[in-house]
Amino acid sequence: MAYSDKVLDHYNNPRNVGSLDKGSANVGTGIVGAPECGDVMKLQVRVTEATGIIEEAKFKTFGCGSAIASSSLATEWLKGKTVDEALSIKNTDIVTELSLPPVKIHCSVLAEDAIKAAIDDYKKKQGVPAAEPAVEVGAH
């Protein structure tokens, strides 16, 4: 299977790899997927509480190259957005940006789910009811 240049770039130089303090009140963590399915994504955001702007985004992904690229791209897009703007990122935007083939669309869906799960976690910590239907978050 041939990978697009953008997928290869994110795979070879993943952006924002790492972890934030999941115990912190202004950090939202989303873990989606399952090892037996071959993909697990962990996506975290650190939000400036006063402005609601995402200062920092980090990821770690177990999965194929497209899954790694989707989550790496998601962290790039998250930085500087408000939490509500973050929820407007759609999996189809990721598919377009990375030129994912049909068999890899689930990687982009997983990245969107990870974003929602992370934002949802942050909102819960802040005592704000989730705007979107809550995405189930893995134990962490």
Partner 1 sequence: MQMPIYMDNHATTPLDPRVLDAMMPFFKDQFGNAASRNHAFGWQAEEAVETARKQVASIIGANAKEIVFTSGATESNNLALKGVAEMYGERGNHIITAATEHKCVLDSTKKLEKHGYRITYLPVMADGLVDLDMLRESMTDKTILVSLMYANNEIGVIQPVREIGKLCKERGVLFHTDATQAVGKIPVNVISDNVDLLSISAHKMYGPKGVGALYVRRKSPRVQLTAQMDGGGHERGMRSGTLNVPGIVGLGSACHFAAAEMAEEAKRLRYLRDKLKDRLLSELDETYVNGSMEHRLPNNLNISFAYVEGESLLMGVTDIAVSSGSACTSATLEPSYVLKALGAGDDLAHSSIRYGIGRFNTEQEVDYVAEKTIAVVKKLRELSPLYEMVKEGIDLTKVQWTAH
Report, as residue numbers or ranges, the catalytic residues: 37, 107
Q: How many CB atoms lie within 10 A of CB 47?
A: 26
Query: CA–CA separation, 80 vs 57, rounded Å?
Result: 9
Q: What does the binding site for partner 1 look like in residue numbers (CB under 8 A)? A: 3, 11, 14, 17, 19, 31-42, 60-65, 67-68, 103, 106, 109-110, 113, 135-139
C-beta closer to partner 1: residue 97 or 113: 113
Closest CB to partner 1 among residues 30, 122: 30
Residue (12 or 51) nearer to partner 1, CB: 12
CA atoms within 13 A on the CB side of 82: 6
Phi first, then psi, for residue 24 (nearest 5°) are -70, 140
Q: How far is the CB of 63 from partner 1 (least distance, A)?
A: 5
